[in-house]
Amino acid sequence: MSVLTNNLDLFLRAFAQTLQLFAISAVLSLVLGTFLAALRVSPVPVFRGIGTLYVTVLRNTPLTLVFVFFLFAYPLLEIVKIEPYTAAVVSLSLYTAAFVCEVVRSGINTVPVGQAEASRALGLTFVQMLGNVVLPQALRSVVPPMTSTMIALLKNTTVASGFAVFQAGTIRDSLSEQGENVLLGLLWVAIGFVVLVMPLTYVQQVFEKRWSVAR
């Protein structure tokens, strides 16, 4: 317990950084992922190809490699200098966007074609069809896997530990520097993540249950 109470300030600051990193990357990856999903369901084959290529490459590349690329390879190209923190946000967003894209795309694909055809037959405009028919149905199958993706993103912020970004994963470094018990410190970090993730998992299960009944 003393490891936590003696370093409460460190733990709070670190977890606040984790949440900040998570929040920024979550927003960026949702925007980019939705855009990519739009590409992947677009009627233009070239756009679909671009979307598919992006998703295939990023989904099969380890996140750690994306980090290494943006911290140690990208600067060699001398384009725009980025801080390690920015590099971490960029890596997390680009990587997570591929997963967001797949969730959104498969969500849209779960809506039966007949639904859209019927609404077109009724004379609904594209926006009306999207807003009143397709998206409300797609959302139900999107929210639970999207919550999983976001939980994964929250946990993935710890990958930044090896790349000079202060967050919950680097609490160990500070503790070992002060000669504190690293074993207990890491246990507290783990508990911290359990506390953060559990409510999200619960919310996800509630949504899943409620909407699977409604269908």
Partner 1 sequence: MRVRTLAAVLLTGALALTACGKEGSPTEQGAPAGLFEVAKDVKVDGSPTFEKAKTRGSLVVGVKEDQPGLGYKDPTTNKYSGFDIDIARLISAKLGFDPEKIQFKTIQSAAREQALINGDVDYYVGTYTINAGRKEKVGFAGPYFVAGQDLLVKKDNTDITGKDTLKGKKVCSATGSTPVKRIRDENLTEPGNILEFQGYSQCVTKLLDGEVDAVTTDDAILKGYAAAEEGKLKVVGKTFSSEPYGIGVPKEDTALRTKMNDILQASLDDGSWQKIYDGTLGKSGSSAEKPKIDRY
Partner 2 sequence: MSMVLFDVPGPKARARHKVMAVIGIAAVLAAVAYVIMRFIATDQFSTRRLDWINYKQIQISLVEAIGNTLSAFAVGAVLALVFGAIFAAARLSDHAWVRAPAAVVVEVFRAIPLVIMMFFFYYGLPVAGVKLSAFTAVVLSLMLYNGSVLAEIFRAGINSLPKGQSEAAYALGMRKTQVMTLVLLPQALRAMMPTIISQLVVLLKDTALGFLITFEELLRWGTRIGGDAVSFGRPMISVMIVVAAIYIGLCLLLTWLANYLEKRNRRNKKVVKLDGDRPNQVQLAESSAVLGSGSTL
Residues that bind partner 2 (CB under 8 A): 41, 43-48, 50, 56-57, 59-65, 68-69, 72-73, 76-79, 105, 108-109, 111-113, 115-117, 120, 126, 129-130, 134, 151, 155-159, 161-162, 168-169, 172, 176, 181-183, 185-187, 189-190, 193-194, 196-198, 201
At residue 119's C-alpha, the angle toward residues 113 and 125, to 5°, is: 115
Q: Closest separation between CB of residue 66 and partner 1, Å?
A: 16
Q: Which residues contact 155 (CB under 8 A, 6 or more apart)?
A: 193, 197
Q: Which residues contact 28 (CB under 8 A, 6 or more apart)?
A: 89, 93, 97
Binds partner 1 (CB under 8 A): choice among 23, 27, 65, 75: 75
Q: Which does 83 bind (CB under 5 to 8 A by kind): partner 1, partner 2, none?
A: partner 1
Q: Which is nearer to partner 2, 63 or 89 (CB)?
A: 63
Q: Which residues contact 99 (CB under 8 A, 6 or more apart)?
A: 33, 59, 149, 152
| Of 138, 131, 152, 84, the residue nearest 106 (C-alpha) | 138
Contact status: 62 vs partner 1 (CB under 8 A): no
Helix (H) or strand (E) holding 142: helix 135-156
Q: Closest separation between CB of residue 169 and partner 1, Å?
A: 11
Token pair in block for residue 41 = 């369901």
Binds partner 1 (CB under 8 A): choice among 49, 112, 136, 162: 162
Q: Which is nearer to partner 2, 113 or 213 (CB)?
A: 113
Q: 45-59 vs 8-40: helix axis angle to the nearest 10?
A: 150
Q: CA–CA separation, 207 vs 122, rounded Å?
A: 31
Contact status: 164 vs partner 1 (CB under 8 A): yes
Contact status: 67 vs partner 1 (CB under 8 A): no
Q: Which does 51 bind (CB under 5 to 8 A by kind): partner 2, partner 1, none?
A: none
| Of 13, 47, 54, 15, the residue nearest 33 (C-alpha) | 54
Q: Which is nearer to partner 1, 102 or 180 (CB)?
A: 180
Q: Which does 164 bind (CB under 5 to 8 A by kind): partner 1, partner 2, none?
A: partner 1
Q: Which is nearer to partner 1, 136 or 162 (CB)?
A: 162
> Looking at residue 178, what DSSP letter applies?
T
Q: Closest separation between CB of residue 165 and partner 1, Å?
A: 9
Q: Does residue 157 contact residue 22 with C-beta atoms inside 8 Å?
A: yes
